[in-house]
């Protein structure tokens, strides 16, 4: 039986990882450490909160003493580090929080792990620090350039990606210098349940339902490689089980899409849903599809993101050949599942959008944080 400390487990990918792990490995113990920033949502963990092998701790990864005490008292052997400031646009508007959490926060975790696992000798051999990172550290590609491999030089372009690159280097340094058992994964764009509606796919989905403008940056030709979030969890699982210490692994969907094509696809899938389910017209009267109109009439090309990376693409040869990784969910299937999830979980996104889940946290987290 393993005991995992999952940082940022109340966020989008972290929560999906917790659900994946507790389903796959029900005998393991999982502790989530999360500061519940605007992006963290305790409701994302509601399905597991009552389990005796789960614990939620409300706290900051920058609190090194708290992390050390959790590692000791819970006898943690595996730390999976998701906690971060993750939205590129916010990093452009205000980089400070990104440097604080993504760089200093990661360093705080590394210090705590080294102290407890190596200096104090709890799990001196059998420990793992897994760092969750992004393909954005490699910078941008032209349409012709080959996809990012693990050997591509780092060239981060936004304050977000620069802060993630710095954290990747710190993780590398703690392995090289101190011998901490680390692995890192650099993943492409994720989508799926619990995705915070400031990011492209949930934002577009919910704006269509409400008949609001769909803001497409620039001319919409920027390209991202999309991966269903459960397939990211599966990739991390393989790295934890079979990955080489000190190694980095790229995880991706080999699934490149122009932003404008994704937006048009979601417009079309919502129209299909409305055509087969009359009740949606009553629930979402402002959606163009409710009046039999085209959803893509909502598209508006807006001022581009400053420094907007043109294209990301991941070469997954290494993780495929070394660890046998292959995504399980096709894009068509994943995007339909995601749309269904948003239609089935209106309470979740309404609370996220009107901020009332923050009130809910204030009254309820004390009971959940134990």
Active site residues per annotation: 135-136, 160
Q: Is 105 in the site for ligand NAD (CB under 6 A)?
A: yes
d(CA 108, CA 237): 24
d(CA 148, CA 165): 14
Q: Is 189 in the site for ligand NAD (CB under 6 A)?
A: yes
| DSSP string covering 339-370 | HHHHHH-HHHHHHHHHSHHHHHHHHHHHHHB-
Interacting residues of 23 by C-beta distance below 8 A, sequence separation 6+: none
Nearest distance from residue 233's CB to ligand NAD, in Å? 11
Q: How long a stretch of residues is the chain?
A: 370
CB-nearer residue toward ligand NAD: 117 or 196: 196
- Considering only residues 5, 6, 14, 269, which one is a binding residue for ligand NAD as defined by CB under 6 A? 14
Q: Is 231 in the site for ligand TDX (CB under 6 A)?
A: no
Q: Is 134 in the site for ligand TDX (CB under 6 A)?
A: yes
d(CA 205, CA 278): 18
d(CA 217, CA 308): 9
Q: Is 86 in the site for ligand TDX (CB under 6 A)?
A: yes
Residue in this structure with the two tokens 């009971």, named with its chain if needed: 367
Q: Is 37 in the site for ligand NAD (CB under 6 A)?
A: yes
Nearest distance from residue 353's CB to ligand TDX, in Å? 14
Q: Is 212 in the site for ligand TDX (CB under 6 A)?
A: no
User: What is the largest distance, in Å, between two alpha-carbon atoms of the chain?
Assistant: 66
Task: Select from 71, 81, 173 the least CA-distant residue to 118.
Answer: 71
Q: Is 77 in the site for ligand NAD (CB under 6 A)?
A: no
- Among positions 257-286, residues that touch ligand TDX (CB under 6 A) are 259
Q: Specify the stretch interacting with ligand NAD by CB under 6 A; choose among 66-74, 80-88, 139-147, 346-354.
A: 80-88
- Among positions 311-350, residues that touch ligand TDX (CB under 6 A) are none
Query: Pairing between strand 78-81 and 3-7?
Result: parallel
For the four alpha carbons of 214, 216, 220 and 225, in that order, the dihedral sign comes to negative
CB-nearer residue toward ligand TDX: 29 or 164: 164
Task: Select from 80, 6, 87, 81 the least CA-distant residue to 39.
Answer: 87
Q: Is 255 in the site for ligand NAD (CB under 6 A)?
A: no
Q: Specify the stretch interacting with ligand TDX by CB under 6 A; choose among 25-33, 47-55, 81-89, 174-182.
A: 81-89
Positions touching ligand NAD (CB under 6 A) are 7-8, 10-14, 34-37, 39-40, 60-62, 82-84, 86, 101, 105, 132, 134, 164, 187, 189-190, 196
Chain residues binding ligand TDX by CB under 6 A are: 86-88, 134, 136, 189, 199-200, 203, 215-217, 222, 224, 259, 305
């Amino acid at each position: 039986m393993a005991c995992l400390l999952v940082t940022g487990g109340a966020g989008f990918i972290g929560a999906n990882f917790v659900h994946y792990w507790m389903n796959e490995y029900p005998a393991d113990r999982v502790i989530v450490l999360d500061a519940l920033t605007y992006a963290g949502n305790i409701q994302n963990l509601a399905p597991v909160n009552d389990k005796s092998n789960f614990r939620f701790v409300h706290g900051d990864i920058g609190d090194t003493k708290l992390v050390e005490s959790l590692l000791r008292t819970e006898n943690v052997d595996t730390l999976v580090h998701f906690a971060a400031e993750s939205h590129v646009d916010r990093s452009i508007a205000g980089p400070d929080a990104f440097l604080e959490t993504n760089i200093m926060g990661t360093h705080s975790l590394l210090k705590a792990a080294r102290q407890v696992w190596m200096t104090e000798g709890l799990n001196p051999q059998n420990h793992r620090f897994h760092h969750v990172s992004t393909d954005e550290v490699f910078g941008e590609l032209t349409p012709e350039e080959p996809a990012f491999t693990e050997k591509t030089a780092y060239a981060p372009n936004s304050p977000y990606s620069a802060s993630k690159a710095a954290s990747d280097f710190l993780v590398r340094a703690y392995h090289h210098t101190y011998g901490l058992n680390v692995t890192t994964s650099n993943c492409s764009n994720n989508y799926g349940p619990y995705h915070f509606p400031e990011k492209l796919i949930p934002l577009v989905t919910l704006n269509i339902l409400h008949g609001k403008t769909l803001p497409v940056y620039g001319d919409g030709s920027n390209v991202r490689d999309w991966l269903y979030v459960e397939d990211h969890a599966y990739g991390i699982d393989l790295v934890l089980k079979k990955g080489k210490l000190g190694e980095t692994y790229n995880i991706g969907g080999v699934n490149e899409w122009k932003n404008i094509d994704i937006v048009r696809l979601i417009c079309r899938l919502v129209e299909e849903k409305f055509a087969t389910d009359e009740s949606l017209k009553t629930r979402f009267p402002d959606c163009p599809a409710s009046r039999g109109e085209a959803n893509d009439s909502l598209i508006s090309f807006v001022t581009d993101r400053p420094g907007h990376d043109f294209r990301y693409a991941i070469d997954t040869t290494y993780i495929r050949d070394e660890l046998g990784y292959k995504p399980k969910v096709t894009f068509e299937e994943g995007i339909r599942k995601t749309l269904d999830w948003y239609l089935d979980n209106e309470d979740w996104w309404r609370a996220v959008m009107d901020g009332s889940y923050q009130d809910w946290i204030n009254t309820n987290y004390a009971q959940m944080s134990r």
